[in-house]
Homo-oligomer: A and B are copies of this chain.
Amino acid sequence: MLPTLRPVTRAGEATNEGSSESTPSVAPSPLARQSDASAGEPARRVSDATVSRLPVYLQGLVSLAGEGAASVSSESLADLSAVNPATLRRDLAGIGITGTRGVGYDVKYLVHEISVVLGLNQEWPVIIVGVGNLGRALANYEGLATQGFPVQALVDIDSSIVGSAVAGVVVEHFDDISAVVAREAISVGVIATPAAAAQEAAQHLIDAGLASLLNFTPVPVVVPDHVQVRGVDLATELQILSFYQQRSTAAARGTGLPLGTP
């Protein structure tokens, strides 16, 4: 289940802002077993849209499995996942999963295959940059570790914090990011800094060799193509909701602007 993380590359250098293009040498990951089906196939191109729905399917499937369901139809699972059944079938076909005509999909098989495709059969150690309120909350959130994303490093620029322990992890200095990432075989970088520092944090994480970032600030960070960033920002979400809320209330007011008239 969990491959051991062994310090491989011991990078002692503290990138002092000077090293421009640094060594992307970090190859932290424990082995990633590709979808076990047939090995020799060319890499399937799974679309981003599909990938973003897989966790949703998985959620529903786990719930179904808990109820003892042995198989599901695309329609049932689609309902649970709030998507169109055809989309669900396309997605599954796209990752090489096949069902049985007239019957449906095998729940256990689906759970396993999706887990493998998502890479959930291994651990992805996480570093959190910025140990403020949010950073601390995340570090203390057990959900991370239980889902396979153990928080194994914390860094901050504030030297009055460095050295203290949060959730059993000692806070290290931001400047030592590269060394820390290498030492702990980190795979995912979480940006929990003030917004103004987000880009710099991202840059250092990338320089340290990371290719997966989770950004909690409201500012988008600019990254090279090979790096994936996901943003999670409360204010952004609320502002989007605000738009639709305003639109619907405006419509409800009935200001001569008919709303749902197709």
Contact = CB atoms under 8 A, between A and B. Distances in A.
Interface of A: 1-6, 8, 24-25, 27, 29, 32, 34, 42-43, 46, 51-52, 54-56, 58-60, 63, 79-82, 117-120, 122, 124, 130-135, 137, 141, 143-144, 147-149, 156, 158, 187-188, 192-196, 211-214, 216-222, 224-226, 228, 230, 232-253, 257-260
Contact of A241 (B156, B228, B237, B241): B228
A245 B147 contact: no
B147 A238 contact: yes
A24 B137 CA distance: 37
Given A118-B242, A211-B245, A195 B234 contact: no
A250 B39 CA distance: 12
A160 to B, nearest CB: 12
A211 B146 CA distance: 34
A70 to B, nearest CB: 21
A73 B34 CA distance: 44
A212 B245 contact: yes
25 contacts: A1-B135, A1-B193, A2-B133, A3-B194, A25-B258, A29-B249, A34-B257, A42-B257, A43-B251, A54-B239, A55-B235, A55-B239, A56-B218, A147-B235, A188-B238, A211-B248, A212-B241, A212-B242, A212-B245, A213-B241, A225-B260, A228-B244, A228-B248, A230-B240, A232-B234
Contacts of A236: 55-56, 59
Given A55-B218, A237-B230, A245-B228, A1 B130 contact: yes
Those 6 A-B pairs whose CB atoms lie nearest each other, nearest first:
A1-B132, A119-B246, A29-B249, A228-B244, A2-B133, A55-B239
B131 A1 contact: yes
Nearest to A41: B257
**Max chain B Cβ within 10 angstroms of own Cβ: one of A118, A147, A246, A257:** A246
A196 to B, nearest CB: 8
**Which interface residue of A80, A211, A226, A235 has the most chain B CB atoms within 10 A?**
A235
Contact of A242 (B82, B119, B131, B221): B119
A42 B251 CA distance: 11
Given A1-B193, A3-B193, A4-B195, 12 more contacts: A1-B135, A1-B194, A5-B235, A32-B250, A43-B250, A43-B257, A46-B243, A59-B195, A59-B236, A82-B220, A118-B242, A214-B237
